[in-house]
Chains A and B, each alone.
Chain A
Amino acid sequence: MTPWRRVGAWVSGLRVRLVLAFAMLGVTTTVAVAGGSYFQARNVILQQAQDAAVMSLTDQLTKLYPIAQLPPTQDDLQLLAQRLSDRESFAVVVYRDMRAQGASEFTDPLTPELRQKVRDGRIAWQRVSLAGQPALLIGTQLALDRPDGTSRPSGVEVYSVRNLVPEQQSIDQLATRAWLTGGLSLVLAVLLALLSARGVLRPVRDLGRAARRLGEGDLSTRLTVRGADELADVARTFNHTAGTLERQVGELRRLESDARRFVADVSHELRTPLAAMTAVTDVLDEEAEHLPGDAGRAARLVSQETQNLTQLVNDLIEISRFDSGTARLALDDVDVAAAVTATLRIRGWLDRVRTELPPGVVARLDPRRLDVIVANLVGNAFRHGAEPVSVRLSADPDWVTIEVADRGPGLAPEVLPHVFDRLYKADTARTRSEGSGLGLAISWENARLHRHGERRGSLVAGNGTHGGAVFTLRLPRETADTGGAR
């Protein structure tokens, strides 16, 4: 699993999804509630401030009537502007080209669109930003009543510029509270999500761990069933499945070990009568030459078959040792080239085999088992393959590799997977072979018996590039005797 995939798995994991969903829910609700009330409160605050300012200006202006002088002088305008200015606001009074203004640093705060609306004969107001601060502009004309109830504009326009900073501050306070509420609810949502994720995830994690243990072979794994929800159901089903599996596997193991013990017992029981028979056939062999015709052939046949039977029984006993885990390595530091040469010489094959045995390869292994493997592989090559048979030794710091190759027809694809099966006959027509049918199985077990840490000996069958079967034996150079561990 690459780091990215792990991050992806974590992001799409149940915990993150739950937390995200809860956070989204919390944020959405908070935004809707806090945001909505914030906007409403803000509008109410602004509305009230505006209405109050307009009212106050109207009240002040009403007191100016009746107007006795028109056109006003600049001094009149200035006086009016100062009268209308206070701490929170200042006034701008305009009459045609004349203009007077209360004390302020802003030279021209009025917007053209506001002036247009005022000139059109309406009280108008507008929120603007003056030097970064919010301000409210209110404007009106001073009109003159006529006796018939209509009014005429006098040409005097009065504007009040009111600072909205206090309102801004209250609104900012509202916003701060809204943000705080949102943040708190987010934290709360995440906490809740984590809690509920824990509640859901713990059983799931337990289940995963138990399934892994079961997969690794611990069939006694059981889950503690908590509660009565769906996850508890899953746990119950898991326990039931594990129980059934354990029972069945136990049954199978018992049957298998029974069968193995039976084979081992039978082999041992056969040994004693076979020893007697071998003794008899030895005598028969000596006498066979003197026996006439059929009797002689029969005597030789009995002798031959007794030998085969002895071999088979010995192989069965060997195999049953592997199966019962009692096979032990007798380790020694071995010069591999010398050991292989000895194996070939003892069996008289040294002249028929092409060897490629670099000297000086020393490995710690069981020389008897190496002898069994090499003899079996070379013997098979002669029996089933075709000459020339070659044995090649190579080595690196970790491994010793021995390749036994022949130039025969090689191994058929359908045979390859079964080469190391017990009593497997490649040629079904040939019901009687010279061997016991256990040789390669024993060699394979012997190879596997050599192990060092993670490295484990192996025997692999294949076909060479130029045809012919190639058996490759790989043994770790250092072997620790771990007993019959399989």
Chain B
Amino acid sequence: MTGRRTGRALFASGLLLTLLAAGCGVRPSAVITGRPPISGPAQGTWVYLLAQGELVLVLRPVNADPSPAAALSLLAAGPQENERAQGFTSEVPAGLDPVTVTAGADRSGDLTVRTNIAAQALSAHAADQIICTTVAAAAQVSAANTATTVTIVGSDGARGPRACPIR
């Protein structure tokens, strides 16, 4: 009886000491998440290129014309030297230019991109590049937001409307 009681007491104190020893020092932790990432202004025109099949944002130096049409011209010109060196590509054909971007008649601010090439022939990536670049540029000058859709009208008809898949 006494032996058992003593045993229990020893066990309990041993457990306490073990717990205490195990909780000592700085232990590795799980990942702790905080607020959204740091954000700040960007200087330049937003252009969406492709890298390994994904849309990637690049900044081009600010040019005089902040309009979506000017941004689409930059896109049609393809990746620059340094961008190509890092494996960036574009599926937008150079014949996209000349292009016009007009805001829709209704109040939603939806945009229409008019070009001379065949809209249906554009690859899905190319269409997304055009849509995202247009919306990003339009946001600088008008009230376009992530929900704004873009319709691409080519020589063979309209494609879309569709919103930029990157939110």
Interface residues of chain A, those whose CB is within 8 Å of chain B, are: 8, 11-12, 17, 20, 24, 27-28, 31, 35, 39, 42, 46, 50, 54, 58, 61-62, 64-71, 73, 96-98, 111, 113-114, 117-118, 121-129, 134, 140-148, 150-155, 164, 167-168, 171-172, 175
Quick check: B35 and A122 within 8 Å, CB to CB?
yes
Q: A126: which of B9, B30, B44 is its contact (CB, 8 Å)?
A: B30
A46 to B29, CA, bound (A): 11
- Report if B82 contacts A (CB, 8 A): yes
CB proximity of B167 to chain A, nearest CB, Å? 8
From known contacts A31-B16, A164-B26, A168-B26, infer whether A152 and B40 are also in contact, taking CB-CB under 8 Å: no
A134 to B39, CA, bound (A): 29
- Report if B56 contacts A (CB, 8 A): yes
Quick check: B2 and A142 within 8 Å, CB to CB?
no
Return the chain B residue nearest A113 by Cβ: B31
CB neighbours (8 Å) of A46 from chain B are 26
List B residues 139-167 near A (Cβ within 8 Å): 139-140, 143-146, 166-167
- Report if B53 contacts A (CB, 8 A): no
Quick check: B82 and A123 within 8 Å, CB to CB?
no
CB proximity of A50 to chain B, nearest CB, Å? 8
Of the listed stretches B57-65, B99-107, B110-118, B120-128, chain A binds B57-65
CB proximity of A274 to chain B, nearest CB, Å? 70
Q: Name 20 interchain pairs, CB-CB below 8 A, sorted by A.
A: A20-B6, A31-B16, A35-B20, A42-B26, A61-B38, A64-B40, A65-B41, A67-B40, A70-B59, A96-B51, A118-B37, A121-B36, A122-B36, A142-B38, A143-B38, A144-B41, A145-B39, A145-B42, A148-B146, A167-B26
Q: A148: which of B12, B25, B44, B145 is its contact (CB, 8 Å)?
A: B145
CB proximity of A132 to chain B, nearest CB, Å? 11
> In the complex, which of the residues B9, B29, B30 has the most CB atoms of chain A within 10 Å of its own CB atom?
B29
A117 to B146, CA, bound (A): 23
Quick check: B27 and A66 within 8 Å, CB to CB?
no
CB proximity of B147 to chain A, nearest CB, Å? 10
A111 to B32, CA, bound (A): 13
CB neighbours (8 Å) of B35 from chain A are 122-123
Quick check: B43 and A66 within 8 Å, CB to CB?
yes
Quick check: A24 and B13 within 8 Å, CB to CB?
yes
CB neighbours (8 Å) of A167 from chain B are 26
CB proximity of A303 to chain B, nearest CB, Å? 77
Quick check: A54 and B34 within 8 Å, CB to CB?
yes
CB proximity of B100 to chain A, nearest CB, Å? 22
Q: A127: which of B26, B44, B143 is its contact (CB, 8 Å)?
A: B26
CB neighbours (8 Å) of B86 from chain A are 71, 96, 98
From known contacts A11-B2, A20-B6, infer whether A65 and B31 are also in contact, taking CB-CB under 8 Å: no
Q: B139: which of A58, A65, A147, A171 is its contact (CB, 8 Å)?
A: A147
CB neighbours (8 Å) of A67 from chain B are 40-43, 59
Quick check: A122 and B37 within 8 Å, CB to CB?
yes
CB neighbours (8 Å) of A69 from chain B are 44, 59
CB neighbours (8 Å) of A140 from chain B are 37-38
> In the complex, which of the residues A50, A121, A140 has the most CB atoms of chain B within 10 Å of its own CB atom?
A140
A164 to B87, CA, bound (A): 38
Quick check: A123 and B40 within 8 Å, CB to CB?
no
A12 to B38, CA, bound (A): 67
> In the complex, which of the residues A46, A114, A142, A146 has the most CB atoms of chain B within 10 Å of its own CB atom?
A146
From known contacts A114-B31, A123-B36, A124-B32, infer whether A172 and B25 are also in contact, taking CB-CB under 8 Å: yes
CB neighbours (8 Å) of A98 from chain B are 86
| Besides A145-B41, A147-B139, 18 other A-B contacts (C-beta < 8 A) | A11-B2, A35-B23, A39-B23, A61-B38, A62-B38, A64-B40, A68-B43, A68-B44, A96-B51, A122-B33, A122-B35, A123-B33, A126-B31, A134-B25, A144-B39, A148-B144, A148-B145, A168-B25
A111 to B29, CA, bound (A): 12
Return the chain A residue nearest B32 by Cβ: A125
Return the chain B residue nearest A59 by Cβ: B38
From known contacts A11-B2, A68-B61, A124-B31, infer whether A31 and B20 are also in contact, taking CB-CB under 8 Å: yes
Q: B145: which of A122, A144, A150 is its contact (CB, 8 Å)?
A: A150
CB proximity of A26 to chain B, nearest CB, Å? 11
From known contacts A64-B40, A67-B42, A125-B31, infer whether A155 and B56 are also in contact, taking CB-CB under 8 Å: yes
CB proximity of A95 to chain B, nearest CB, Å? 9
CB proximity of B7 to chain A, nearest CB, Å? 11
